[in-house]
Amino acid sequence: MLEVKGLSAAYGQHPALNKASVRVGKGEIVVILGANGAGKSTLLKAISGICEGKVTGSARMNGHELVGMKPDRIVEEGIALVPEGRGIFGDLTVEENLTLGAYSERAKDAERTNLDRVYTLFPKLLERRKQVARTMSGGEQQMVAIGRAMMSNPAILTLDEPSLGLSPLLSKELFQSLRAVRDTGIGILLVEQNAKASLAIADRGYLLENTEIIHEDTGANLAKDPAVQKAYLGGAAAKSARGPTRPGLEPGPRSAEAPDQVGGVAPAPRPAKGPSPSDIAAQAMSGLAPARPAKPAPPPTPRPAPPPAPPVARPAPRPALAATPTPTGIDTASIVAKAASQSSRKGAPPALPPRPAPMPEPPKPARASQPARPMPDLGHHSDRLRDMLEEIETAAQRARDRSRTRTRGKP
């Protein structure tokens, strides 16, 4: 079904994925293990058409080339991404979140069936269908995220570290759920740091090291491979093992499953690096292409300058947005509007640094010749942007005043 061949990705001059080849069949769970920065998320993003870097090579779904396709088209081809950080709408109910996932053409006609399937797989979501998503536990929210992806009627579900931040108990439930999803015939491509649990459910797995796939085997064989145990499973078994170690297979700072996680204590949660609400809302509006996970602040090692920001594909809005209740009886347009308003409330603040305390105003000379410029209509971000523009204008005015004072002071 999904056949990735020689897929590469680079952010500017920085290669993040080098000629990766991976395949996922119907009803198969395939796990990708790798250290921090190995290129795992980049692989998933490149397949889903949301990689910010330059992608070359091939990723085919049932023979259709995905590289170069827009993200919403890739959803139509049957690929759904559950991004790291989940990206659900906290202010919407469970059922509203799920319904947003059914916006692709391929999902519309089967919305009722897909919703029933999600509720059968995750009975808790049925119980809590009217509950506001942000009030749910981390594990339940992850189920909402997976359920929403399944509402797009995917043939392949890709998941970026779904167990991140979950307690061992919730992680266990999650991996059991993924098994159940697989049993419905959906192929699963899973990027995980919980090597033990993911290999336990995986049919096959790949090791991704320094941008390259260095090994492929069955989940069972990988789980007992001494080199894999050393690198990803805490190393206890590997220490006594005499088997050869694979060159280059070194544990990354986060690749080795924390021994306490194996032992049953929750790992220290990493900061979420999910897509911003505005990203998700924009994508919801544009046909529910998979959400674009935001990158966290750059690591201490300097990153190469990113390429000039490629425009994020935002397909033309669908006419059906204004439409009619869905088969579930829910008015999708009003859910999307609600999601968008949530996004506009929450989108700006995290992205912007706190405003500095205002400087004392120097006396301004009268400037009758420059009337105030009219403010363009900036939509729902206008207040924040207006404040920023005013700050810039004030700073520029101060600079002009200072330079005028200096010029006047010169003989």
Ligand X SMILES: Nc1ncnc2c1ncn2[C@@H]1O[C@H](COP(=O)(O)OP(=O)(O)OP(=O)(O)O)[C@@H](O)[C@H]1O
> Residue 6 or residue 185: which is nearer to ligand X going by CB?
6
| Interface with ligand X, residue 93, by CB under 6 A | no
Which range of residues in 37-45, 62-70, 91-99, 277-285 is near ligand X by CB under 6 A?
Answer: 37-45
| Interface with ligand X, residue 41, by CB under 6 A | yes
Which range of residues in 38-46, 166-174, 197-205, 228-236 is near ligand X by CB under 6 A?
Answer: 38-46
Among 4, 8, 29, 40, binds ligand X (CB under 6 A): 40
> Residue 253 or residue 263: which is nearer to ligand X going by CB?
253
| Interface with ligand X, residue 310, by CB under 6 A | no
Among 5, 25, 26, 36, binds ligand X (CB under 6 A): 36
**The dihedral of CA 391, 392, 396, 397: what is its sign?**
negative
Among 1, 39, 198, 223, binds ligand X (CB under 6 A): 39
> Residue 17 or residue 118: which is nearer to ligand X going by CB?
17
| Interface with ligand X, residue 212, by CB under 6 A | no
Which range of residues in 11-19, 117-125, 311-319, 392-400 is near ligand X by CB under 6 A?
Answer: 11-19
> Residue 37 or residue 315: which is nearer to ligand X going by CB?
37
Which range of residues in 9-17, 20-28, 67-75, 256-264 is near ligand X by CB under 6 A?
Answer: 9-17
**The dihedral of CA 337, 341, 343, 348: what is its sign?**
positive
> Residue 302 or residue 319: which is nearer to ligand X going by CB?
302
3-state SS string over the chain? CEEEEEEEEEECCEEEEEEEEEEECCCCEEEEEECCCCCHHHHHHHHHCCCCCEEEEEEEECCEECCCCCHHHHHHCCEEEECCCCCCCCCCEHHHHHHHCCCCHHHHCCHHHHHHHHHHHCHHHHHCCCCEHHHCCHHHHHHHHHHHHHCCCCCEEEEECCCCCCCHHHHHHHHHHHHHHHHCCCEEEEECCCHHHHHHHCCEEEEEECCEEEEEEEHHHHHHCHHHHHHHCCCHHHHHCCCCCCCCCCCCCCCCCCHHHHHCCCCCCCCCCCCCHHHHHHHHHCCCCCCCCCCCCCCCCCCCCCCCCCCCCCCCCCHHHHCCECCCCCEHHHHHHHHHHHHHHHCHHHHCCCCCCCCCCCCCCCCCCCCCCCCCCCHHHHHHHHHHHHHHHHHHHHHHHHHHHHHHHCC
Which range of residues in 36-44, 138-146, 151-159, 346-354 is near ligand X by CB under 6 A?
Answer: 36-44
> Residue 96 or residue 160: which is nearer to ligand X going by CB?
160
Which range of residues in 34-42, 126-134, 225-233, 366-374 is near ligand X by CB under 6 A?
Answer: 34-42
| Interface with ligand X, residue 267, by CB under 6 A | no
| Interface with ligand X, residue 303, by CB under 6 A | yes
Taking the C-alpha atoms of residue 90 and residue 73, their distance in angstroms, rounded to an integer, is: 26
> Residue 16 or residue 69: which is nearer to ligand X going by CB?
16
Among 26, 179, 295, 345, binds ligand X (CB under 6 A): 295
Among 4, 11, 73, 230, binds ligand X (CB under 6 A): 11
**The dihedral of CA 296, 297, 299, 304: what is its sign?**
positive
Q: What dihedral angle (degrees, nearest 10) is formed by the CA atoms of 248, 253, 255, 259?
A: 120
CA distances for 411 relative to 165, 276, 407, angstroms: 66, 55, 9
| Interface with ligand X, residue 37, by CB under 6 A | yes
| Interface with ligand X, residue 20, by CB under 6 A | no
| Interface with ligand X, residue 306, by CB under 6 A | yes
Using CB under 6 A as the binding rule, the residues of this chain from 49 to 88 that contact ligand X are: 52
Indicate the length of the chain as a whole number: 411
| Interface with ligand X, residue 271, by CB under 6 A | no
From the CB of 180, what's the least distance to ligand X, in Å? 26
With CB under 6 A as the rule, give the number of residues binding ligand X: 15
> Residue 38 or residue 170: which is nearer to ligand X going by CB?
38
Among 29, 34, 61, 71, binds ligand X (CB under 6 A): 34
Q: Which residues bind ligand X (CB under 6 A)?
A: 11, 14, 16, 34, 36-42, 52, 295, 303, 306
